[in-house]
């Protein structure tokens, strides 16, 4: 297994834990790690400490089971020491964004799904990751959750170019002075009851496209009109597939 570079998904159990601790995958570049309530979920912090020694690992996906409500940030706090990691996805984060999380310092793309709650401390912890270019936030489809306010502090997300928000009960989205200054693409998909957009979007010179799949209010229609007429921003509505380009790479945003 010395030359193995990709593991799509490996379940955290006795065998996989032993293999990882023995350094069986020294050249792995991409790994998916599934964590279930099977008696080995408590091994995750130790497993992550061994994975952070892999110099070639640049993409990591962590799938938490439905038991993730009991997962605290201490389970993943060592992610902040993964210096080579540029892509990170965590499935079923639940309420982890109620406090500041430290992610890999060189992360450029971050996807968090199964979000059930977001606080100012949680979102602004993300905003302090200065190399982050692509951020995808997914809520919990079919699960009851409180509406959240997304308050981005002054100067936060300085390099962010793509923001995707899906299935989050978003009540309000606000941008502080200088926040998301390099934003190019925005996707908002099924994030009711959001009924307005930050007026600061109108001052973003690099904004190219805003895609909203929900029905829009009068206030939101007004902001979208300014963006389209005065700023030349492409406005898309509806659930059709849309693609964007980011530094030469093309990827789906719906």
pLDDT per position as a tens digit, 191-240 = 988 999 999 999 999 999 999 998 888 899 999 999 999 999 999 987 65
Domain residues for the domain of 120 are: 6-192
R_g of the chain, CA atoms, integer Å: 19
The per-residue pLDDT for 247 is 42
Q: Considering the domain boundaries, does residue 253 fall inside one?
A: no
Peptide bond into 193 cis (omega under 30): yes
Structure tokens that stand for 57 in this block: 């690992």
How much of the chain is helix, strand and coil, in % rounded to 5?
A: 25, 30, 45
Q: Considering the domain boundaries, does residue 220 fall inside one?
A: no
Who has greater pLDDT, 182 or 251? 182
Q: Considering the domain boundaries, does residue 114 fall inside one?
A: yes
Q: Considering the domain boundaries, does residue 185 fall inside one?
A: yes
Q: Considering the domain boundaries, does residue 34 fall inside one?
A: yes
pLDDT per position as a tens digit, 77-119 = 888 889 999 999 999 888 888 888 889 999 999 999 988 889 9
Q: How far is CA 136 from CA 10, 76, 112, in A?
A: 23, 19, 6
Q: Considering the domain boundaries, does residue 221 fall inside one?
A: no
Q: Considering the domain boundaries, does residue 55 fall inside one?
A: yes
The per-residue pLDDT for 249 is 41
The answer to whether the predicted template modeling score (pTM) of the entire model surpasses 0.85 is yes
CATH of residue 24's domain is: 3.80.10
State percent of the chain over pLDDT 70.
Answer: 87
Domains in the chain, number: 1
pLDDT band, very low/low/confident/very high, at 184 (cuts 50, 70, 90): very high
Residue 160 near residue 183 (C-beta atoms within 8 A): yes
Structure tokens that stand for 217 in this block: 């209010």
Count the Cβ atoms, other than its own, within 10 Å of residue 69.
10
Structure tokens that stand for 165 in this block: 């928000």
Q: Considering the domain boundaries, does residue 208 fall inside one?
A: no
């Amino acid at each position: 297994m010395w030359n193995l570079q990709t593991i799509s998904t490996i379940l955290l159990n006795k065998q996989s834990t032993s293999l990882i601790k023995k350094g069986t995958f020294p050249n792995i570049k991409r790994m998916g790690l599934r964590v279930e309530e099977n008696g080995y979920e408590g091994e995750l912090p130790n497993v992550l400490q061994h994975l952070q020694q892999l110099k070639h690992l640049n993409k990591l996906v962590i799938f938490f089971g439905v038991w993730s409500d009991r997962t605290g940030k201490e389970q993943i706090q060592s992610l902040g020491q993964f210096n080579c990691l540029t892509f990170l996805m965590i499935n079923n984060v639940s309420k982890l964004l109620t406090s500041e999380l430290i992610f890999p310092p060189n992360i450029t793309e971050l996807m968090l799904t199964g979000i059930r709650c977001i606080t100012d401390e949680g979102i602004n912890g993300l905003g302090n990751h200065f190399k982050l270019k692509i951020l995808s936030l997914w809520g919990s489809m079919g699960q009851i959750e409180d509406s959240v306010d997304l308050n981005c502090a002054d100067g936060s997300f300085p390099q962010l170019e793509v923001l995707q928000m899906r299935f989050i009960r978003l009540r309000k989205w606000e941008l502080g002075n200088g926040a998301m200054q390099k934003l190019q693409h925005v996707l908002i998909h099924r994030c009711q009851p959001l009924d307005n957009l930050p007026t600061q979007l109108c001052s973003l010179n690099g904004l190219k496209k805003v895609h909203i799949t929900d029905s829009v209010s009068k206030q939101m229609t007004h902001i979208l009109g300014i963006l389209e007429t005065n700023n030349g921003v492409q406005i898309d509505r509806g659930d059709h597939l849309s693609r964007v380009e980011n530094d030469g790479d093309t990827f789906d945003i719906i």
